[in-house]
Amino acid sequence: MEFEQSELLKTLPTQFFATLVAKVNQKTAAGVDVINLGQGNPDQPTPDYIVKATQQAVADPATHKYSPFRGLAEFKQAAADFYHEQYGVQLDPTREVAILGGSKTGLVELPWALMNPGDTYLLPDPGYPDYFSGAALGQVKFETVPLLAENNFLPDLAAIPAAVADRAKFFYLNYPNNPTGAVATPEFYEQLVAWAKQHEVGIISDFAYGALGFDGQQPVSFLQTPGAKAVGVEFYTFSKTFNMAGWRVAFAVGNPSIIAALNLLQDHLFVSLFPALQQAGVAALTDPKRDGAIAQIVQRYEGRRNAFLAAAAKIGWHAASPKGTFYAWMPVPDGYTSESFADLLLEQAGVAVAPGNGFGDHGEGYVRIGLLMEPERLVEAVQRIGKLHLFDKED
C-alpha cells in the first residue's frame, strides 16, 4: 500500500539545503573534487571539555530516565546565568527560559503555539529558509521585509506600511545575520522595541550566531535593550557557539507568555531533551574553559574571513566584510542570476555556493559563502573561480 501525504505537508516549501546537497553529491559521485562553500555546518569538533562532561553524564544511570517535561532546573539556571554574565539580562529560569531540541524546532513550532490559521507574521528577506516552513505548518500568512545593502541589511522599520505592521502578530529577526553577515546595533534595537510597542508586534530574535562577532566586537543581544523582554524572546543555540550542530541543544529566553506557550506545546510533543545532553549544555555554559573555547572558534572564523576576502579581492570580487557569522555574502557578476552563477561555479570550477535567491527574493544577485574550511582551501576555491575570468572587468 502507498499512503498519500497530508494536504498540510504538501504546502511545505522545497527544502532548500536538501536540494543544494543533492547537487553537490551528484558531482562528488562523478569524481569531481568539489569545494563545498554552500554549507552551514561547523566543520570543527565540539570542544573537548564538553565532550568529556557528556561522556560522564551518559555513564550516569540517572540520565537514562525521562527528563522533567520542561527540562532540568540546573540547565535553565545555567542559561539564565549565562545571559546575565554575557549581556546583563536578568531572567527567571522558571518562567523565562524554555529548553529546545535545537533552535530550529522552536522557530518553526512558534506559530503553532502562538498564532491561529490566517494570522500574519513578518519575515526578513533574505532570511533563513526554514522560517517559511513554520508559516506552512502553522497555516499562517507572512509578509517579507527587505534587508538591503544600503541600510546595512537592517530592516527599514519606517518603510513597513502601517497596515502591515498593525496586522502582524510577530516579526522574526536574525542578527548576526544569516546569510548577509550583518550585525544589529543597540540603536536599531531601541527603535525596534518602540516600533513593536506601537504596533503591538512580538519580536522573535534568532540569535543563532550570537557568539560570532569579529574585529573585537561582541554581537548585541536583543534582550539587552530596555523594554525588550516585554515585547519578545530570543533563541540561542549551541550549534555555532560550541560547534554542537548535531547535538540539537538550544533554549529560548524572554517574554514569559511566549515562553509559556512554547513550553505547553512541547509538553505534548517531547519530554524535553535527553538529560545527558542537558548536562552537556550546563558544562558548555559554566565550565571555566568556556571563554577560551569560544574565543578560539571566533578567531578561526575571522582568519578564514580575512583569507577569503583578500583572495576574492585579487580576482576583482568585492563585498562588504561580514561583521559576524561564518558567511560571506558575495555579489553575482553581471549577466548572471544567483542560480545560474552557482550552477556555473559547480559545473566549471567544482565550487559549490548557496544561491542567494534561496533565502528570499531580495537575496537575488548574491551567493552565500560558508567559511567552513581552512584558509588554504578557501583560497583554492577563489583561485578556481578566478580562472573563469568572470570579474576581470571589475578589477
Query: b/e string for 353-378 if b means 16 or more Cβ within 10 A?
Result: bbbbbbbbebbbebbbbbbbbebeeb
Give the pTM: 0.95
Q: How high is the pLDDT of residue 251?
A: 98
CA distance 145 to 224: 23
CA distance 170 to 165: 9
- Taking alpha carbons only, the member of 127, 133, 218 closest to residue 172 is 127
Query: What superfamily in CATH does domain 7-46+291-388 come from?
Result: Aspartate Aminotransferase, domain 1 (3.90.1150.10)
Q: How high is the pLDDT of residue 364?
A: 97
Q: How high is the pLDDT of residue 39?
A: 87
Name the residue with cell 534561496: 358
Q: How high is the pLDDT of residue 395?
A: 42
CA distance 269 to 279: 21
Q: How high is the pLDDT of residue 18?
A: 77
Mean pLDDT per 10-residue run, the chain (395 residues)?
93 80 88 92 96 98 95 98 98 98 96 96 96 94 97 98 97 98 98 98 98 96 98 98 97 98 96 97 98 97 98 96 97 96 95 95 97 97 96 67
Contact 205/223 with Cβ under 8 angstroms? yes
Query: b/e string for 35-65 if b means 16 or more Cβ within 10 A?
Result: bbbbbbebeeebbebbeebbeebeeeeebee
CA distance 112 to 235: 16
- Pick among 3.20.20.70, 3.40.640.10, 3.40.50.850, 3.40.630.10: CATH of 65-289: 3.40.640.10
Domain boundaries, the chain: 7-46+291-388, 65-289
Contact 171/143 with Cβ under 8 angstroms? no
Q: How high is the pLDDT of residue 394?
A: 45
State residue 36 phi and psi, 5-degree precision. -90, 100
Domains 7-46+291-388 and 65-289 share a fold: no
* Inter-axis angle of helices 73-87 and 275-286, nearest 10: 30
